[in-house]
Amino acid sequence: MELYPYSPLLVQDSVLAWYSGKAEVPINTMKRETSSPYETSLSDESDSLDVRRSGQEATVYEKIVVGFDGSELSKGALIESSNWIRRHGGKIVLVHAVYFDEEEFANAPEQREKRFELGKKICYQTREKTFSEFGVDVESLVCEGEPPEVIVNIAQEKKADLIALGTYGRKGLKRLFLGSVTSSVMVNATCDVLVVKKPCNECTGAYSSILLPFDGSEFSKKALERACQLSKIDNAEITVLYVIPRYEEMIGFLRTESIKKSMMHEAEKILNTARGIASKHGIPIKTETQEGQADAEITGTASRLKTDVIIMGTYGWRGVSRAIMGSTTERVIIHAPCPILAVR
pLDDT in tens, 126-135: 999 999 999 9
**More confident of the two residues 82 and 201:** 82
| Gyration radius of the chain over CA positions | 22
Is it the case that residue 211 has pLDDT exceeding 80?
Answer: yes
- CA distance linking residue 97 with residue 150, whole number of Å: 6
Residue 329 confidence (pLDDT): 81
- CA distance linking residue 183 with residue 186, whole number of Å: 5
- CA distance linking residue 160 with residue 248, whole number of Å: 44
306 sits in which H/E element: none
- CA distance linking residue 309 with residue 212, whole number of Å: 9
State residue 68 phi and psi, 5-degree precision.
-135, 125
Domains of the chain, each with CATH number or no CATH = 9-196 (3.40.50.620), 209-343 (3.40.50.620)
CB 205 within 8 A of CB 85: yes
60 sits in which H/E element: none
CB 145 within 8 A of CB 119: no
Residue 15 confidence (pLDDT): 34
Within 8 A by CB and 6+ apart from 20, the residues are: none
Position 251 confidence tier, pLDDT thresholds 50, 70, 90: low
pLDDT above 70 as % of the chain: 71
Q: At what angle do helices 110-134 and 72-88 cross, to 10 degrees?
A: 40
CA atoms 16, 161, 86, 46: torsion sign: negative
N residues, the chain:
344
Is it the case that residue 101 has pLDDT exceeding 90?
Answer: no
Q: At what angle do helices 327-335 and 294-305 cross, to 10 degrees?
A: 30
- CA distance linking residue 78 with residue 274, whole number of Å: 32
168-to-147, 225, 238, 323 alpha-carbon distances in Å: 11, 28, 28, 21
> What is the mean predicted confidence (pLDDT) over 227-251?
85
Considering the chain, what is the average pLDDT of its residues? 77
pLDDT in tens, 219-231: 999 999 999 999 9
> What is the mean predicted confidence (pLDDT) over 86-114?
83
Dihedral of the alpha carbons of 63, 222, 344, 169, in degrees to the nearest 10: -80
CA 290 to chain centre: 27
- CA distance linking residue 332 with residue 184, whole number of Å: 16
For 254, other C-beta atoms within 10 Å of its C-beta total: 9
State residue 215 phi and psi, 5-degree precision.
-130, 5
- CA distance linking residue 234 with residue 218, whole number of Å: 25
pLDDT in tens, 255-313: 677 877 888 899 999 999 999 999 999 999 999 999 888 999 999 999 999 999 999 98
Residue 95 confidence (pLDDT): 96
